[in-house]
Structure 1
Amino acid sequence: MVKTLSKSRSSGKIFLKFFLIFLIVSSTTNVGAQEKHSQKGAPEPDLKVGERLYYGLISTGEDAKACASCHTYYTSDTINWNPSALEMAQVAADMDLATFKSHLLTPSGAMREKVHINYELTDEQLFNLHGYLTELADSGVPQKKMSINTILIFLLLGVLMAVALVDIFFTKKIKFKLIHILIIMAGLAYQGKVIAHTLIDFGRSPDYMPDQPIKFSHKVHAQDNQIDCNYCHYNAQHGKSAGIPSAGLCMNCHMVVRNGTNSGQFEIAKIVDAYENNNDIEWIRIHNLPDHVYFNHSQHVNAGQLDCAECHGTVEEMHILKQENDLSMGWCLDCHKKTNVNFRDNDYYKTFEALHKDIQEGALDSIKAADVGANDCMNCHH
């Protein structure tokens, strides 16, 4: 009887514990449901309307430019000094609606004051536009895809070339073989161009020009303001790598210069932010060699006394830096074979006594880089 009573009490305690847990879980679920319900009850921005406003499909004021005309989704090979769509979305997402309205309709800064002067948006339109930009900041810009027209033309030419080849070797319906040859040549030329540009986008190819975290123009700095290459790339004469300038070096000038002639405040503000918060600017390397290749800038710039343009092209004329040459082994070897070395007036080469003697005696009139071991395999692959 006692055992039965104790068992029943024990069972009662267990039941009571489960009942209390059930009440707690149930109340928590109800609170969560109430919170979700209250969120559902709040007005939601119409993202489609916001997108139309961004693209100018809905009027934002007389003579007002569409946001997308300045703040584009994708960059091209010509520099767009305005912040990208994603950058603007990330800025807008951190603002409340009142700040966003002020930023858009009563902007500060010479560049934005010029462009935003004609904007006239209602509070509802601002709410929808802000919602669209917030969503864009969360989702990000989708990767740019090859256009459907390019894919269709690529496939169509492939089919035509296949038909032409079948007719040449098997069916022989068309007597004029020149038609087949023209089709095959045109198809190979177009497909080759598409494939080449696709491969260039992967990097380490001529004309490779990736988007950088800050719109930096070598033309503005090196040509317009006559800043020497070695001021920023200070390690080129004495080290393996040319070096990438830190935000601190940039601030030597931008401590004073805070408003760019072309870019306004937005791009320079990124440098200031990186400097003040001790963050690195994550530049994307353009000129890059495989890991099994050894290359030393000081050997070429200091000992070889080459000008930067020999490898990098006319950088001082580039707004967007690109890879000028293919940097292949053949390209390097050819350069070594045709490039004369300043042999007489360069102490680096004074140990080559036999070659100095040949020059003095007239046996040689010049010395190429290949003559002093530049093309020895172990110099680059050791």
Structure 2
Amino acid sequence: MQHIIDRFISYVTVDTEADPNSNTTPSSAKQWDLANKLVEELKAIGLQDVSIDDKAYIQATLPSNIDEKVPTIGFVSHFDTTPDFTGANVKPQIVKNYDGGDIILNAEKNIVLSPSYFEDLLLYKGQTLITTDGTTLLGADDKAGITEIVTAMEYLIQNPHIKHGTIKVGFTPDEEIGRGADFFDVEKFGCDWAYTMDGSQIGELEYENFNAAGVKLKFKGKSVHPGYAKGKMINAMTLAAKFITALPAGETPEETQDYEGFYHVVHLDGSIEDTNVQMIIRDHDRTKFEARKVHVQKMIDDLNAKYAKQFGGDIVEIEIKDQYYNMREKVEPVMHIVDIAEKAMKNLGITPIVKPIRGGTDGSRLSYMGLPCPNIFAGGHNFHGKYEYVPVESIQSAINVIVEIAQIVAKQK
């Protein structure tokens, strides 16, 4: 277990925060630090054809050790972390034999990880948890996934009596800002299918995700002295606020669950004459997803029509851009790949939790690029913030699932 802890900590202490405002790939130069480290590590454990391209995409191969021809499978994770919360100077804390009580992350700032709020903690009584120190995220999303893939490949290499076909490994940058699959070379990867190790709690198995779009809005206004503004001033900030409050009630992330979609305002800044709003639109159902985009466009069209005479043109500029789609459409025709992962979990005594992802993974994009790619648990909880934690036993379980999948596929005819 210490080997797993050491490897995971060696990854999360490297800052790989993605930068959504950058046009480069990777979006932040510091992602190269971990990417280059991973390349050397993959070579050191004995993988073959280890490569990294000019955009930091990593691929490697574990050759088959059987004579029969069986499907080539892959395992994929991302090494960047979200820009939602700082990933610099991560100082992991180890909680051995967790007793089910509160965990003091940071006494000075009174930051407490408590099962009274995060009930899932109680699933892991008696286990070893890795937490933050309350000032950063942890980075289990998705460095737990990388730990699992590297360790599983190392285990298979060290135990050649375990039979498996050809296995490919892929690590990507910038997944957290929606660009993880942008330059992934599916043809070079050469897999029949793959799995992302990017889910949350132990047992999660997902082949459905949101359809997703990003929306950029620019509200314009007219600044006039407030003492003489009646009928003349147009306050862009007020317009933006009215737009936000006019979005359908009860359809925000904090008010929805399961298959329910939402509208989510993620950024707001501005002045009287220029106010910018960024939002995302999500829905598992493609028809409802398209209807949500139409609804937002109509709201803006109505605002532009209302202010056309007073403003003298469009008062709001809008850009709606699709980000990814529900992978279910591409996975359902090859459902045996989900069945294999489910069987692997059951063989190991893990109860599969098959549910839709309320988000997206590289797998959703890759599935539409010709590589069906369901998602398997990586073990972490409370991603993207200071309350993030991962049970070491869950990392070990994910490693075991990878090895078990490899053995099941090796018996495929």
Scaled to the shorter chain, the TM-score interval is under 0.3
TM-score by length of 2: 0.24
Higher fraction of helix: 1
Higher fraction of strand: 2
TM-score by length of 1: 0.25
Which of these two proteins has the greater Rg computed from alpha carbons?
1
